[in-house]
Structure 1
Amino acid sequence: MNWNSTLLAQIGSESVAASIDYSVEITQGLLTTNNVWMMLCTALVFIMHLGFAGVETGFGQAKNTVNILFKNTVTPIIGILTYAVCGFFLMYPGFEVPGWFSFDSAGWSMFYMNPENADITAEYADAGYTYWTDFLFQAMFAATCATIVSGAIAERVKISAYLVFTLIFVGIVYPLIGSWKWGGGALDAMGFYDFAGSTLVHSVGGWGALAGVILVGPRIGKYVNGKTVDKPGASVPLAVIGVFLLWFGWFGFNGGSVLSADPGLVSMVLVITCLGAAAGGMGGFLAAYFAFKRLDLGMVLNGILAGLVGITAGADVFKPGASLLIGFIAGILVVLSAVFLDKMKLDDVVGAVSVHLTCGVWGTLAVGIFSTNPDHSFLTQLIGVAVCGAMAFGSAFLIFYILKVTVGIRVSEEHERSGLDSHEHGIRGYTIVYDE
């Protein structure tokens, strides 16, 4: 999702617009087509929040249903608002020289004081869509990053602590890391490549989830006498619906990241995305069968998501054959990662760390192995993964740690055992009322 960063005040000025020589008919048609596609993709990414809510609610216990749905409702609200207040201008700051930090104060001023200046020409972002379409599409990605953390630490985190974490992590940490590549920063200048966010969205969220899992600790009764105790989810059908909604939304996640309605590239990206998901599901199916000697639906579902995450970094530079291999390996990795986390007594309710972090790292490194672009190198990809990981994990750990030693991040044992719905929300997720 990288574009040439330029101060929005310059882009929107009449002098720049007047200097562009183009055919009105062709430009208007291109602008309309691209905008319709980008807005459709924005809607698809937005619907992914319903998918995340379904997955987390389905894998979580019934006594915490309302709490999980509350978090998944408030998360996109916080994500969109923080992105409008500061995230967008941190992420696309208009670096004069590629660096590590900048803020587009001119763009912020125009956004709120003179929004009419943002109604700019089809030359915006070198792709032919409007400033407002770009903002909304990017805002959907920001909100997605925080949702990843929610699923990992579900059922025992204080809602207040989670909301404060989300406010800081999505408002500052995510856009700052994103600026290093998509905003034309230092990693972009280095040659690091991440087409739609295997690292910049998924791994960043995964690192945040890992920090939360470590500091919040496992659920009561999850690990007993060296054994892992399964805690049945509230609704397997809801989890399946959630995964298919995410798969559906991923067509917008990756397809929209083309940043145009180019028919050849968009169609190829969608094919690569779908092949990666299917191969990931098959990898999860087979790995779980060999590991657990059963047909594990949960691992097939996470295998699909693993394949999607793995393919996202290079969906525009992978060949179909490579996408099958990348997705299949991601499906295997998600099973191995989940087993490893349980051995380390790191309790991840939905497998967010395994799906988004483990497979996000794999997908980003895969660009250095399978990319059709000879300029992409494995070493550069590795450096990018390490830099983004250090920043994301370090920031998330610091935020959670400060919250832990100040206001606390975990609910009481009593509340956790009886469920968060009744104590924090006053209602239950599943209630049958019989008329007298």
Structure 2
Amino acid sequence: MDLNTLASGLDTIWVVLSAAMILLMEGGFALLEAGFVRQKNAVSIIMKVFVDITFGALIFFFFGFALMYGKDAAGLIGTSGFMMGGDLTHINLTITHDTYWLFQCAFVIAVISIVSGAVAERINFHAYILFTIAMTGLIYPVAGHWIWAVGGWLGSLGMIDFAGSAVIHALGGFSALAAAIVIGPRIGKFSENGTANIVPPSNLPLASVGAFILWFGWFGFNSGSTLSATNGSIGHIAVTTMLSAASGGAACILFTMLRYRKADPPMVINGSLAGLVGITAGCAFVSDAAAILIGAVCGIAMVFATEFLESKRIDDPVGAFAVHGVSGSIGTLAVGLFAQPELAGKAGQGYSGLFYGGGVSLLGIQALGLITVIVWGFATTWIAFKLINRLVPVRVSRDEELVGLDVGIHGVPAYSQEHDFIELTQLTLDKR
């Protein structure tokens, strides 16, 4: 066996294992969101995650991957690779195209899961399936092509987004914001005078376990994006990922103790996730110290963003926008400030941020790319929800929402004794 064959085999194993770690994050999303919402809506969360994985994978196979990574047309869209056929020779990697598809499929499933949390407890299941098709088949692939594909116009300008702070998290976060605005707040979330009412999470231990699973999977998310088991930057990427997550959580602990006079558990959970989101773009290009700073800024910004949404009467039950949209934006711009040429060189690119002699050039490119992705994600999601609403209602009925989506939509509660199940099932049958 020659060295090239051995390296290719190692790279394949590395990428497949990284993809599996990212797919495990769906378990994290399921537990996190189920823990944050009320007990009567836990099953609906699980069902949406299954939609993400099943419909998301199939749609990305049929045409999403082609639009994202197919042969470039004017820097805007891919035109080959439908059902993994046609010309994909421009994707020049040491792994097979099938292996690459699997890794990218794990990413696209994560994007739609971000939106899932923002519309929890009131979205119509049929409408969610249709939006999943739109997100995984068009919205995300087109934005991804611009930045990650060979010939994409933002990537050609020099935009850096190593593992997706912009492509995945800013896009998903601002899509989540648009979805939350269109669908409206949960019944009883806001009083007539505009003040927000507390809707207590059903199971914070469950949510924390979900966050830990997401944290674990993020090492596959970031380090796996090297696409090579022999890349010397893998260890550094893992360290910056760890430090930013720890810093985001620690900053939230201290900040909420000062602001609320107690450490706020949901905020702390989201603070660590915000740190993970923020470091995703620059994990290969920034120093350990910069990673700590990025995580702390993202953790604190997440708190303010959560409060801001509530002041505007926008209901985001799990903090999808604050965690992904805001932190993804901060992380994307942070690359333009903190990217170091010696680190970027190890990862295959030689860019410098503003604080390391690169001037404002990279920062400007990052800002342009970020604004483009934000506008695209928000606008297309808004349009998609409006169009879907013409086919099926995007929101469940008032009665279904009050009873809970588990029984009202899916016909089964998440937790019940036998007599409770019989009573709730009869209620469902009566409604029909």
TM-score, length of structure 2 as denominator length: 0.89
Deviations 1:387-417 (A, max 9, x none): 1111111100001112234422111111111
Question: Could you tell me which residue of structure 2 aligns to residue 252 of structure 1?
Answer: 220
2:310 maps to 1:342: yes
Given that residues 51 and 132 in structure 2 are in contact (C-alpha distance below 8 angstroms), is that contact kept between their aligned partners in structure 1? Answer: no
1:318-337 alignment runs, 5 A limit: 318-337=286-305
Given that residues 309 and 355 in structure 1 are in contact (C-alpha distance below 8 angstroms), is that contact kept between their aligned partners in structure 2? Answer: yes
1:136-155 alignment runs, 5 A limit: 136-155=102-121
For residues 289 and 266 of structure 1, the distance between their equivalents in structure 2, rounded to whole angstroms, comes to 35
For residues 348 and 397 of structure 1, the distance between their equivalents in structure 2, rounded to whole angstroms, comes to 16
Given that residues 127 and 260 in structure 1 are in contact (C-alpha distance below 8 angstroms), is that contact kept between their aligned partners in structure 2? Answer: no
Question: Could you tell me which residue of structure 2 aligns to residue 420 of structure 1?
Answer: 405
Given that residues 203 and 358 in structure 1 are in contact (C-alpha distance below 8 angstroms), is that contact kept between their aligned partners in structure 2? Answer: yes
Instruction: In structure 2, give the amino acid aligned to 1:61.
Output: R
- Displacement over 4 Å in runs of 4+: 124-127
Q: Indicate which of 46, 53, 67 corresponds to 1:69.
A: 46
Instruction: In structure 2, give the amino acid aligned to 1:417.
Output: L
Given that residues 401 and 408 in structure 2 are in contact (C-alpha distance below 8 angstroms), is that contact kept between their aligned partners in structure 1? Answer: no
Question: Could you tell me which residue of structure 1 aligns to residue 378 of structure 2?
Answer: 393
The alignment's C-alpha RMSD in Å is 1.8
For residues 27 and 10 of structure 2, the distance between their equivalents in structure 1, rounded to whole angstroms, comes to 27
Question: Could you tell me which residue of structure 2 aligns to residue 21 of structure 1?
Answer: none
Given that residues 180 and 186 in structure 1 are in contact (C-alpha distance below 8 angstroms), is that contact kept between their aligned partners in structure 2? Answer: yes
2:188 maps to 1:221: yes
Instruction: In structure 2, give the amino acid aligned to 1:128.
Output: T
Given that residues 66 and 79 in structure 2 are in contact (C-alpha distance below 8 angstroms), is that contact kept between their aligned partners in structure 1? Answer: yes
Given that residues 68 and 77 in structure 2 are in contact (C-alpha distance below 8 angstroms), is that contact kept between their aligned partners in structure 1? Answer: no
Question: Could you tell me which residue of structure 1 aligns to residue 18 of structure 2?
Answer: 41
Question: Could you tell me which residue of structure 1 aligns to residue 335 of structure 2?
Answer: 367
Deviations 1:38-68 (A, max 9, x none): 1110100000000000111000100111111
Secondary structure in structure 2 of the residue aligned to 1:74: helix
Instruction: In structure 2, give the amino acid aligned to 1:35.
Output: T
Question: Could you tell me which residue of structure 2 aligns to residue 18 of structure 1?
Answer: none
Deviations 1:327-349 (A, max 9, x none): 01000011010010000111001
Deviations 1:249-274 (A, max 9, x none): 00000011011113521111001101
2:211 maps to 1:243: yes
1:31-430 alignment runs, 5 A limit: 31-95=8-72, 99-104=75-80, 107-108=81-82, 111=84, 125-184=91-150, 185-224=152-191, 225-372=193-340, 373-374=351-352, 377-430=362-415
What stretches of structure 2 of length at least 5 have no aligned partner?
341-350, 353-357, 421-432
Question: Could you tell me which residue of structure 1 aligns to residue 355 of structure 2?
Answer: none
Deviation at 1:33, TM superposition (A): 1.0
Given that residues 7 and 230 in structure 2 are in contact (C-alpha distance below 8 angstroms), is that contact kept between their aligned partners in structure 1? Answer: no
Instruction: In structure 1, give the amino acid aligned to 2:180.
Output: V
For residues 356 and 262 of structure 1, the distance between their equivalents in structure 2, rounded to whole angstroms, comes to 30
Deviation at 1:433, TM superposition (A): 3.4
Identity of aligned residues (%): 39
Question: Could you tell me which residue of structure 1 aligns to residue 426 of structure 2?
Answer: none
Secondary structure in structure 1 of the residue aligned to 2:233: helix
Given that residues 78 and 143 in structure 1 are in contact (C-alpha distance below 8 angstroms), is that contact kept between their aligned partners in structure 2? Answer: no
Count of aligned positions:
401
Deviation at 1:175, TM superposition (A): 0.5
What stretches of structure 1 of length at least 5 have no aligned partner?
1-23
